[in-house]
Amino acid sequence: MSGTLTTQAADAGSADHPGAILRQVFGYEHFRGRQGDIIEAVNAGRNALVLMPTGGGKSLCYQIPALLRPGTAVVVSPLIALMRDQVEALRHNGVAAAVLNSSLDAATRFETERRLLAGELDLVYMAPESLLRESTLSWLERIELALFAIDEAHCVSQWGHDFRPEYLQLAELAKRFPQVPRIALTATADERTRQEIRARLLADGCELFIDSFDRPNIRYRVGLKNNARQQLLDFIQREHPDHSGIVYCFSRKRCEETAAWLHGQGLKALPYHAGLDAATRQLHQDRFIREDGLIICATIAFGMGIDKPDVRFVAHLDLPKSMESYYQETGRAGRDGLPADAWMVYGLSDILQIRQLLANSTAPQSQQRLERERLEALLTYCEAASCRRPALLNYFDEDHPGQCGNCDNCLNPPETWDATEAARKVLSCVYRTGQRFGAGHVIDVLMGRETDRIANLGHADLSTFGIGQDLDKKTWHSVIRQLLAHGHLQPDPEGHGGLQLGPDCRCLLRGETTLTLRRDVAVPRKRARGSARIEVDTSAPGWQALREWRLVTAQEENVPPYVIFHDATLAAILDARPDSLAELANISGVGRHKLEKYGEAVLDVLAGLG
Ligand code: ADP
Ligand code: ZN
């Protein structure tokens, strides 16, 4: 890459304030959320802690101050693949940035160090272990530093799943470089993690910036499992043909099977889990990032460190482990702000399985209580009969007024019914049959069916035999599932699939409370998107031509397609149909550097459309 931004900016003589850099370098018109305030604070030399959801636009919060302040910014990031992509994206905007880590060959490393010492780099990305090496620290002391940005700062928290011991040593930066401002950023929302980041990385004081964790462009849907694979296939074929997506599964085996099955149905799908060797995993991840329209079937091991902005859907074929996991995993959809789907199906067996895991937990009491609370929150979310967003965001201590208009319950409000009587019938039937049998048998007794088992056990003589003929089997199933979700029922501790009365069922049995349940629906289908949502019209003439040009260009440069232009930018280009470079320059996502590099080619593609 020729010429650093510093020289370009000097030429232009105007890019000396945040808004100008935003426009000229990144091609964007407005700051999002609190970006402007954050940039101002860091630019003025203050420390900052930034809590923003995935896709919120954290990178600009340190990239713009890095360009405005004299010296080089050091960005600490835990993942080498991520650093590479970020540096590629910066270079495509004409910014002088480089990676410095153990994966470099000697010549590249030498050249990067030379450029650093010569003050030619605006940003350098490093893994914490490289940064903290004494030799690195001592030559950093010899150059001018603009700031330290500590990305994925939750890695410093021992409570989180991503704890990295090296992050603890980053506390050293405050002592060695007291004059250099530090900005720590994370998308992890819980309070405990925040406190740890502050205590460990910003103990000497910082400004706190918390953005809303709502992701308005993600449409949340939760449905009932009923041949899950087929449901998934229908969903993808109907709503996301040719789109990139992630399907999360509970086990490695299910990842494999699901990927193979989708593949057999003519979709591009690959598995990703810890049981695959490192090379295969890497290959599958690379293909996901570089190709359009690939589906990854993954365990939770997949996703951290992937910046792909155009993941259009995240599907769960099994319940996630917790509300945090669900939020993190679904959050990988729609980073680019365009409409995206979070789609999940679950059923009675999922609840049984998770309740079972919990019951058999050998963790200390206090830990078990936490685990239970987390699970309850997740089940409450699944069974919610009103807007999903309050249930999701309240978990992270954020209020939401509901009626978001972009979740299944808002779009198709579920019917509810008074299930008090039905619930009492189930509970007494479970009790009368001895708290040993699974849902199937309990329903048979309720419905008064003459099965061999009932005959052998003499259950036809029970007072609850046949008291449930007013409802059908599916409805009883639904009642039992919801009773389990609400804790009125629980699985037997031996894990034989038997149902027992849960701790919360007394009031119901005594008639002291009533119970309202939702009527089950399959996952609601797509409806017309609200007008506020910008949609990429993939059938628009020219869309395929632009994407084709982007893919070829990306392959020539050996970068992911979104590094050239985001989908949102391509869509805006198609919409505006510019016929001069000056008009193209006005489109969001087209900075000065990209205009120069790709402008003519884009105009050619547009001209070719006639
Ligand atoms: P995060 O790191 O918070 O997940 P990123 O920094 O990767 O998010 O930004 C997400 C996407 O939003 C990126 O593609 C980025 O280019 C885009 N973006 C960020 N800020 C703006 C803005 N002010 N206007 C338009 N797009 C933006
Ligand atoms: Zn809603």
Q: How far is the CA of 209 from the centre of ligand 1 (A)?
A: 16
Q: Quick one: which atom of ligand 1 is closest to the CA of 35? A: 23
* Ligand that comes closest to the CA of residue 335: 1
pLDDT (0 to 100) of residue 535:
61
59 lines ligand 1 (CB under 6 A): yes
Q: Quick one: which atom of ligand 1 is closest to the CA of 31? A: 23
Q: Quick one: which atom of ligand 1 is closest to the CA of 566? A: 14
Q: Is 153 exposed, middle or buried (0-12, 13-18, 19+ CB in 10 A)?
A: buried
Q: Whose CA is nearest to atom 19 of ligand 1?
A: 57
> Residue 546's pLDDT band (boundaries 50, 70, 90)?
very high
Per residue in 160-187, pLDDT tens?
Answer: 667 888 999 999 999 999 999 999 999 8
The CATH code that applies to domain 18-210 is 3.40.50.300
Q: How far is the CA of 386 from the centre of ligand 2 (A)?
A: 7
560 lines ligand 1 (CB under 6 A): no
Identity of the amino acid at 459: H
pLDDT (0 to 100) of residue 520:
82
Q: Could you give the angle at the alpha carbon of 372 between the alpha carbons of 474 and 54, nearest 5°?
A: 90
90 lines ligand 1 (CB under 6 A): no
Q: Whose CA is nearest to atom 27 of ligand 1?
A: 57
Per residue in 27-72, pLDDT tens?
Answer: 999 999 899 999 999 999 999 999 999 889 999 999 999 999 999 9
Architecture field, domain 543-607: Orthogonal Bundle (1.10)
- Mean pLDDT taken over the chain: 89
Look at residues 51, 48, 31, 21 and name the one whose alpha carbon lies nearest to residue 397.
51
pLDDT (0 to 100) of residue 435:
93
CA–CA gap between residue 567 and residue 58 (Å, rounded): 19
pLDDT (0 to 100) of residue 12:
40
Query: Helices 473-486 & 420-432, crossing angle to 10 degrees?
Result: 80
Structure tokens at 441: 């048998």
Measured from the Cβ of residue 407, the count of other Cβ atoms closer than 10 Å reads 24
Compute the average pLDDT of residues 557-566.
93
- Which of 323-337, 468-482, 501-515 is least confident? 501-515
pLDDT (0 to 100) of residue 527:
53
Helix (H, G, I), strand (E, B) or coil at 97: strand
> Residue 189's pLDDT band (boundaries 50, 70, 90)?
low
pLDDT higher than 70, residue 437: yes
Report percent pLDDT > 70 for the chain. Answer: 94
Q: Whose CA is nearest to atom 10 of ligand 1?
A: 55
Q: How far is the CA of 429 from the centre of ligand 1 (A)?
A: 55
CA–CA gap between residue 304 and residue 309 (Å, rounded): 13
* Ligand that comes closest to the CA of residue 34: 1
> Residue 323's pLDDT band (boundaries 50, 70, 90)?
confident
> Residue 475's pLDDT band (boundaries 50, 70, 90)?
very high
Q: How far is the CA of 186 from the centre of ligand 2 (A)?
A: 26
52 lines ligand 1 (CB under 6 A): yes
pLDDT (0 to 100) of residue 324:
84
Q: Whose CA is nearest to atom 5 of ligand 1?
A: 57
* Residue 364, φ and ψ in degrees, nearest 5: -60, 155
Query: Which residues is 185 bridged to in the sheet?
Result: 50
For a mutational test of ligand 1's pocket, the pick from 25, 32, 39, i.e. the residue with the most ligand atoms closer than 8 A to its C-beta, is: 32
54 lines ligand 1 (CB under 6 A): yes
Domain 416-518 = CATH 3.40.50.300: no
Domain boundaries, the chain: 18-210, 218-346, 416-518, 543-607
Tell me the pTM. Answer: 0.86
CA–CA gap between residue 367 and residue 345 (Å, rounded): 28
Per residue in 391-428, pLDDT tens?
Answer: 999 888 899 999 999 999 999 998 999 999 999 999 99
Measured from the Cβ of residue 278, the count of other Cβ atoms closer than 10 Å reads 7
Q: Quick one: which atom of ligand 1 is closest to the CA of 151? A: 2
331 lines ligand 1 (CB under 6 A): no
Q: Whose CA is nearest to atom 17 of ligand 1?
A: 57
Domain 218-346 -> CATH class:
alpha beta
pLDDT (0 to 100) of residue 503:
82
Taking every pair of Cα atoms in the chain, the longest distance, rounded to a whole number of angstroms, is 93
CA–CA gap between residue 257 and residue 229 (Å, rounded): 10
Q: How far is the CA of 400 from the centre of ligand 2 (A)?
A: 10
**Matching fold, domains 18-210 and 416-518:** no
Q: How far is the CA of 232 from the centre of ligand 2 (A)?
A: 22
* Residue 50, φ and ψ in degrees, nearest 5: -115, 120
Per residue in 581-607, pLDDT tens?
Answer: 999 999 999 999 999 999 999 999 999
Residues with CB under 5 A from ligand 2 (ion): 387, 404, 407, 410
55 lines ligand 1 (CB under 6 A): yes
* Ligand that comes closest to the CA of residue 404: 2
pLDDT (0 to 100) of residue 536:
66
Q: Whose CA is nearest to atom 26 of ligand 1?
A: 28
CA–CA gap between residue 43 and residue 47 (Å, rounded): 10
Cα radius of gyration rounded to whole Å, the chain: 27
Q: How far is CA 158 from CA 154, 368, 508, in A?
A: 9, 18, 41
